[in-house]
C-alpha cells in the first residue's frame, strides 16, 4: 500500500488514506471512514499514522482489506461519485499531503553512507574535520527535531543566518514495531515501510559545528526535513537496496545513484540503531549520494537560492517536491 497523511483544503484536521488508481486518476481512500462505510471487520482504523503503525500488522491488514473492498466498489461510476461527494475518497488535487508521519518520535539521520558522497567530500571539503572522509566500522549519525518535519509541496524558508543552504536526497525507513537490540536478520520484521526525505542543511553552520564535534543548528532549521509523499509498505519494496534515487534542482539533475551503493544497508542501520528502543513511527534517513550543492565547483552556483525547486524521486515511492521561499520578516 501507499499510505498518506492528508488534510482537506480549508480543514485543520488530518486523515490517513491509501493511494489508488481509479479510472486513470489517483485518489486517496479515507481508511477510517471507508472501513465504517463498508463494515470491514478487523481492528478499528485510526486517523493518525503513528496510531495505525502502533497496531502493527493487524492494523495494516485491516487497511488492506478496506482498500481491496473499496476498489471493487468504486469500479462503479455512480458509487465513485457518491463516495467523492461524501469525501470517503478524494482526488489528490482536492487535498494537501502532509508528511506521512507528521511528528516522528525519533528522526535519526545517517551521514556519509554512500561511497560517492564520501569521495566528493574528501576531494573538495578541506574545511571539514579529517574524520569526515575516513572509513568507519559503524554508521555516523545525528538527529533532527520532529518539529522541523514538513510534507510535500510545503515551502522551505531560507534562514537569514545562513549563506549556504543545501539539499540531500535520502531513502527513509519508517519503523513499524517496537524493538530493541535486534539482529540484521530480524530487521525486516520491524520495518513498516519507506518514504523519501530531503535533509536540508545549513552548510556554513553545520561545518563550523562539526569542527567542534557537534551538529545541531546546521541541520535543524525550520522546515528542514521534508518527508513524503507516501509511506510505501514493506511488502511493496522487498529489497530496499535496489532503488534508484535522483534529485533535481530547477529541473537540472544533481544526484543520480542507487541504494545498492550504501556503505551500511537498511538492515544494518535498523539493527545498529536498535541499540536504543525504536518505536512505531520512528524514521531513519539512510544518507545521501554524491551531488549535493556544497561540493560542486563552484559551490555558490549549486547551493539553494530563494525560488529554487527541489524534486526527489525514488523508485516505487514517488516524488517529493519543495520550493525555497524567503524567510518572513517576523520569523527573523
Beta bridge partners of 313: 246, 319
Compute the average pLDDT of residues 165-175: 98
Q: Confidence band (pLDDT; 50, 70, 90) for 329?
A: confident
| pLDDT (mean) for 59-87 | 96
pLDDT for 270 equals 98
Q: Round the average pLDDT of the chain to a whole number and report it.
A: 94
User: Across residues 37-63, what is the average pLDDT?
Assistant: 95
The pLDDT, as a whole number, for residue 121 is: 66
pLDDT at 135: 58
Q: Which domains does the chain have, with CATH numbers?
A: 2-97 (2.30.30.230), 107-331 (3.90.850.10)
- Binned at pLDDT 50, 70 and 90, residue 10 comes out as confident
The string of pLDDT tens digits covering residues 288-327 is 999 999 999 999 999 999 999 999 999 999 999 999 999 9
Confidence check: pLDDT of 55 > 90: yes
Q: What percent of the chain has pLDDT over 70?
A: 94
Strands 169-175 and 283-285: antiparallel
Q: Which three cell numbers stand for residue 308?
A: 529554487
pLDDT of amino acid 330: 74
- The CA distance from 3 to 161, in Å, is 36
pLDDT digits (tens, 9 = 90+) for 75-131: 999 999 999 999 999 999 899 999 999 999 999 999 999 987 566 765 555 556 555
**pLDDT score at 29:** 98
Q: CB–CB of 236/161 below 8 Å?
A: no
pLDDT for res 75: 93
Distances in Å between the Cα of 37 and the Cα atoms of 16, 52, 70, 83, 151 are 16, 18, 9, 10, 29
pLDDT at residue 132 in the model: 53
Confidence of residue 243 (pLDDT cuts 50, 70, 90): very high
Report how far residue 41's alpha carbon sits from residue 163's, in angstroms, rounded to the nearest whole number. 55
pLDDT band at residue 176 under the 50/70/90 scheme:
very high
The pLDDT of residue 103 is 96
24 band by pLDDT with thresholds 50, 70 and 90: confident
Quote the CA–CA distance of 8 and 33 in Å, as a whole number: 14
Three cell numbers written together for 98: 502532509
CA 183 to chain centre: 24
pLDDT band at 54 (very low <50, low <70, confident <90, very high): very high
User: pLDDT at residue 19 above 80?
Assistant: yes
Three-state SS for the chain is CEEEEEEECCCCCCEEEEEEEECCEEEEEEHHHHHHHHCCCCCCCCCCHHHHHHCHHHHHHHHHHHHHHHHHHCCCHHHHHHHHHCCCEEEHHHEEECCCCCCCCCEEEEECCEHHHHHHHHHHCCCCCHHHHCCCCCCEEEECCHHHEECCCCCEEECCCCCCEECCEEEEEEECCCECCCCHHHHHHHEEEEEEEECCEEHHHHHHHHCCCCCCHHHCCCCCEEEEEEEEEHHHCCCHHHCEEEEEECCEEEEEEEHHHECCCHHHHHHHHCCCCECCCCEEECCCCCCCHHHCCCHHHCCCCCCCEEEEEECCCEEEEEEEEECCHHHC
Instruction: Identify the residue with better confidence: 41 or 289.
Output: 289
pLDDT tens-digit readout, 265-294: 999 999 999 999 999 999 999 999 999 999
Amino acid at each position: 500500500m501507499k499510505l498518506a497523511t492528508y488534510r482537506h483544503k480549508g480543514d485543520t484536521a488530518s486523515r490517513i488514506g491509501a493511494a489508488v488508481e481509479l479510472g486513470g486518476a489517483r485518489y486517496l481512500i479515507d481508511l477510517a471512514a471507508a472501513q465504517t462505510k463498508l463494515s470491514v471487520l478487523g481492528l478499528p482504523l485510526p486517523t493518525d499514522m503513528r496510531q495505525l503503525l502502533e497496531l502493527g500488522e493487524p492494523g495494516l491488514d485491516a487497511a488492506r482489506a478496506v482498500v481491496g473492498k473499496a476498489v471493487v466498489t468504486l469500479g462503479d461510476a455512480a458509487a465513485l461519485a457518491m463516495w467523492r461527494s461524501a469525501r470517503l475518497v478524494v482526488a489528490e488535487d482536492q487535498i494537501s499531503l502532509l508528511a506521512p508521519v507528521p511528528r516522528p518520535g525519533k528522526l535519526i539521520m545517517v551521514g556519509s553512507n554512500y561511497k560517492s558522497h564520501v569521495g566528493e567530500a574528501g576531494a573538495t571539503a578541506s574545511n571539514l574535520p579529517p574524520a569526515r572522509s575516513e572509513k568507519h566500522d559503524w554508521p555516523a549519525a545525528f538527529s533532527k527535531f520532529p518539529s522541523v518535519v514538513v510534507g510535500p509541496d510545503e515551502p522551505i524558508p531560507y534562514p537569514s543566518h545562513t549563506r549556504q543552504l543545501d539539499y540531500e536526497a535520502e531513502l527513509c525507513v519508517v519503523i513499524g514495531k517496537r524493538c530493541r537490540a535486534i539482529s540484521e536478520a530480524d530487521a525486516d520484521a520491524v520495518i513498516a515501510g519507506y518514504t523519501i526525505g530531503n535533509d536540508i542543511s545549513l552548510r556554513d553552520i553545520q561545518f563550523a559545528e562539526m569542527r567542534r564535534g557537534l551538529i545541531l543548528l546546521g541541520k535543524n532549521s525550520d522546515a528542514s526535513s521534508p518527508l513524503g509523499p507516501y509511506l510505501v509498505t514493506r511488502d511493496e519494496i522487498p529489497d530496499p537496496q535496489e532503488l534508484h534515487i535522483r534529485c533535481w534542482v530547477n529541473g537540472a539533475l544533481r544526484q543520480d545513484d542507487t541504494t545498492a551503493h550504501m556503505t551500511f544497508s537498511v538492515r544494518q542501520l535498523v539493527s545498529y540503531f536498535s541499540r536504543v528502543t525504536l518505536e512505531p513511527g520512528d524514521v531513519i534517513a539512510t544518507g545521501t549520494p554524491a551531488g549535493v550543492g556544497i561540493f560542486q565547483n563552484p559551490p555558490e552556483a549549486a547551493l539553494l537560492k530563494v525560488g529554487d525547486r527541489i524534486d526527489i524521486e525514488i523508485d516505487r515511492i514517488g516524488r517529493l517536491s519543495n520550493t525555497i521561499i524567503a524567510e518572513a520578516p517576523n520569523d527573523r
